[in-house]
């Protein structure tokens, strides 16, 4: 034990960072004889040197084999028990408990230059990849391109099994008769209007009347999945269900029949994302686009980004609920962010927002 004490103390003083893991009994014996003179060591130097090497081997289980590290073990071992083997065992257990029960100090991950460059490289968004793939279709092909229903909806409509469940007319909307419709239709004089979010068609019917007053042959494409939203039938109990399917599309078509608008309006019964993607592929563009579907941020943001790319030069996109409780903290935020990113100006018309591409 005395040999280990003297050896470690002397080495810690003169060579504190030296790696002792490769020291053999002969190496330690020379150090003891040269630098740690003691009668007890001199009488049995080989045994002492062997004890030192064995002690270092045990110590390196829990610490680097340098003189300074061994000094800490020597201190705790001696204070624990007077005999080295037992003292070292105590230190091994204590050090292990400290390592396994203490909160580790967090360290920053090492990032290579190539990894860093890749991680900060801006990745394309879905909206960045959403680009028109076809040239605009001529006016005589607009309806045939997108229509998946009979061209004249009034023929053989309504079906016999649905007729008793429909009301002659059931028009309901929110902001559907706002002055913004007349303002924009008079300004743009659109050939094609895309309405994203239709419900029962109140806005579409209003726009049909306005375009007819101006003598326009306007085609209105109404995008809606015609499934409503969770809980909507609590407010619209008169919209019936048949075999688990709500009859929104049939009632919408009945509303068109009631005002003789079946030649001007085409229902596009798909989700807004699917329909707008298909319009891009088919080359269907619009002079005026109304976005009034989902009011949460994600839905509004996606619809606005997709719809804006379908505007003809000089076209206008607009929507409702910029200043209403139905905004749901989404519509206004989506409009503001889109205009900020695109360097566009927002025009407010009542409860509606308007973005003019000119």
Where does 118-215 show beta strands of DSSP type E?
A: 192-196
Q: What is the pLDDT of residue 156?
A: 76
Domain ranges for the chain: 2-101, 134-356
pLDDT-derived band at 207, boundaries 50, 70, 90: very high
134-356 maps to which CATH number? 3.40.50.150
Minimum mean pLDDT range among 111-115, 145-149, 236-240, 311-315 = 111-115
Instruction: Tell me the Ramachandran region of residue 314: left when phi exceeds 0, alpha when psi lies from -120 to 50, beta otherwise.
Output: left
Percent of the chain whose predicted confidence (pLDDT) is above 90? 30
Task: Give the span between the Cα atoms of 299 and 271, in whole angstroms.
Answer: 11
User: Does residue 273 surpass a pLDDT of 90?
Assistant: yes
User: Does residue 338 surpass a pLDDT of 80?
Assistant: yes
Mean pLDDT of the chain: 73
Task: Give the span between the Cα atoms of 195 and 318, in whole angstroms.
Answer: 10
pLDDT-derived band at 77, boundaries 50, 70, 90: very low
Q: What is the mean pLDDT of residues 301-316?
A: 94
- Which of 170, 225, 173, 198 has its CA nearest to residue 289? 198
CA 44 to chain centre: 73
């Amino acid at each position: 034990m005395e040999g280990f004490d003297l050896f470690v103390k002397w080495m810690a003083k003169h060579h504190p960072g030296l790696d002792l893991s490769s020291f053999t009994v002969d190496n330690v014996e020379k150090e003891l004889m040269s630098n740690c003179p003691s009668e007890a060591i001199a009488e049995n130097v080989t045994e002492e040197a062997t004890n030192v090497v064995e002690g270092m081997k045990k110590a390196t289980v829990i610490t680097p084999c340098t003189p300074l590290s061994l000094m800490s073990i020597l201190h705790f071992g001696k204070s624990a028990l007077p005999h080295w083997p037992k003292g070292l065992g105590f230190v091994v257990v204590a050090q292990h408990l400290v390592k396994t029960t203490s909160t580790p100090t967090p360290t920053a991950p090492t990032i290579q230059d190539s990894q860093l460059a890749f991680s900060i490289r801006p990745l394309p968004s879905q909206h960045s990849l959403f680009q028109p793939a076809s040239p605009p279709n001529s006016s005589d092909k607009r309806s045939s391109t997108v229509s998946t229903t009979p061209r004249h909806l009034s023929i053989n409509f309504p079906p016999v099994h649905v007729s008793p469940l429909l009301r002659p007319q059931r028009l309901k909307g929110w902001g559907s008769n706002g002055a913004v419709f007349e303002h924009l239709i008079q300004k743009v004089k659109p050939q094609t209007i895309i309405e994203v979010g239709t419900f029962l068609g109140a806005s579409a019917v209003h726009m049909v009347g306005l375009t007819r007053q101006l003598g326009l042959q306007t085609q209105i494409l109404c995008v809606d999945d015609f499934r409503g939203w969770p809980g909507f039938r609590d407010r619209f109990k008169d919209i019936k269900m048949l075999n688990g399917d709500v009859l929104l599309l049939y009632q919408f078509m009945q509303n068109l029949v009631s005002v003789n608008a079946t030649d001007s309006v085409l229902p596009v019964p798909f989700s807004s994302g699917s329909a707008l993607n298909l319009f891009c592929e088919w080359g269907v563009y619009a002079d005026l686009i109304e976005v009034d579907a989902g009011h949460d941020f994600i839905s509004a943001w996606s619809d606005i980004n997709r719809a804006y790319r379908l505007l003809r030069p000089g076209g206008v996109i607009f929507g409702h609920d910029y200043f209403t409780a139905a905004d749901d903290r989404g519509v206004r935020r989506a409009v503001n962010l889109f205009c900020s990113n695109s360097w566009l100006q927002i025009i407010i018309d009542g409860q509606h927002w308007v973005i003019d591409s000119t």
